[in-house]
Amino acid sequence: MVRTAVWLFPEASAAATVDAVRAAERAGIDEVWLGDEGPAREPFAVLAAAALATERITLGVSVTNPYLRHPALTAATAMTIDELSGGRFVLGIGPGGGMALGPVGVARERPLARTRDAVRIIRAVADRRATDGFDPPPYSMPAAPLRVVVGARGERFNRFASEAADGVFLGGIPRSVLPDTIGWAHSVRPIEIGIHVNTVPGERELEHLRPALIWTLVDAPPVTRERLEVDPVALAAAVDALTAGDDGPARRIVHDGILPELVLAGSPTQIATGLRTYVDDFAPAAVGLLLHPDGDPVGAVEAAGEALRVLTSLSRSATT
């Protein structure tokens, strides 16, 4: 049975996000993931508070990046939450998008090499052994298994994940690119696939989200933009316009033909039906909803819980 998940960014207060995690556990959702981006709350502290408020739900960060913290520290942070939660933490790491790195003026220099080094150091810290860039001090936390997944869009990253990670977190990836992406992620080892899809409850929210989906296209590798027939010049112009406050060009680029690639909209049943196609076509280990709560993370999680309940019952009835 596929695991269920929700993914959100801690834009609400720490306490409200903790309430949302609690709501996710109450709704029987298997995993909750928090994003790690400059302007939002620090997800590790929020997940620590959430760990104390829950008992079973898996707690994940998706994704942190190798630039804002030394990877050895990231490992220590992950291990601490893992200890606090009784082994429920998963560390998602990736190159970081514009929202994460822009505010710290960090250019994404050598993103694959930096992510590769980070994963190597994180594994070494978790195992308490030396590696280039980490020398175990006389005391450190006891060795402990740590689950590490990679969240990235491109071929090289997903092939790297296949070598070195426990899974991939495929978040907001256009649907038609998923077969290739999963192929890369399975190119070396059959690691776990997690697919996380943008979801909104209705038309109003869909229109609100539409221009923001342009960032998915900006962060995507060129092959994806070609597949979706997005003109790079028009895309760049739309980004400039959006930054200057005009979302018209972005709305035209994220037209109705592209929308189904990027988002599921509608009632819990409609969303469940959409998710079911992802489960049937790609057989992931986990399927999740990227939520855009707009001020009510608990409400958004509860609606997601409803959709995931329908999905689970659809899957169950299919197998009976």
Residue (140 or 187) nearer to another protein, CB: 140
Instruction: Kindly list the residues in this chain that would bind another protein in the complex (CB under 8 A).
Output: 10-11, 13-15, 38-42, 44-46, 48-49, 51-53, 67-70, 72-73, 75-77, 79-81, 83-84, 102-106, 125, 133-141
Alpha-carbon distance of 68 to 70, in angstroms, equals: 7
User: Rg of the chain over CA atoms, in angstroms?
Assistant: 19
Question: CB 35 → another protein: shortest distance, Å?
Answer: 12
CB 82 within 8 A of CB 54: no
313-to-284, 290, 308, 310, 320 alpha-carbon distances in Å: 17, 21, 9, 5, 11
Query: Considering the complex, what minimum distance in angstroms separates the CB of residue 104 from another protein?
Result: 5
Nearer of residues 20 and 46 to another protein, judged by Cβ: 46
Question: Could you report how far apart the first and last alpha carbons of the chain are, in Å?
Answer: 13
Backbone φ and ψ of 227, nearest 5°: -55, -40
What is d(CA 4, CA 194) in angstroms, rounded to the nearest whole number? 9
Q: C-alpha angle 20/25/28, rounded to 5°?
A: 130
Q: Which is nearer to another protein, 73 or 285 (CB)?
A: 73
CB of 287 to another protein, least distance (A): 28
Contact 240, 278 (CB under 8 A): no
Residue 13 Cβ vs another protein, minimum distance, rounded to whole Å: 6
Question: Least distance (Å) from another protein to the CB of residue 172?
Answer: 22
Please tell me the distance from the alpha carbon of residue 204 to that of residue 78, in angstroms, as a whole number.
38
- CB nearer to another protein: pick between 60 and 174: 60
Of 136 and 221, CB closest to another protein: 136
- CB nearer another protein, residue 39 or residue 222: 39
Nearest to 259 by CA among 198, 305, 303: 198
d(CA 115, CA 4): 27
Q: How far is the CB of 64 from another protein (least distance, A)?
A: 10
Cβ-contact 296, 14 below 8 angstroms: no
Q: Least distance (Å) from another protein to the CB of residue 96? A: 12
Closer residue to another protein in complex, CB, 133/183: 133
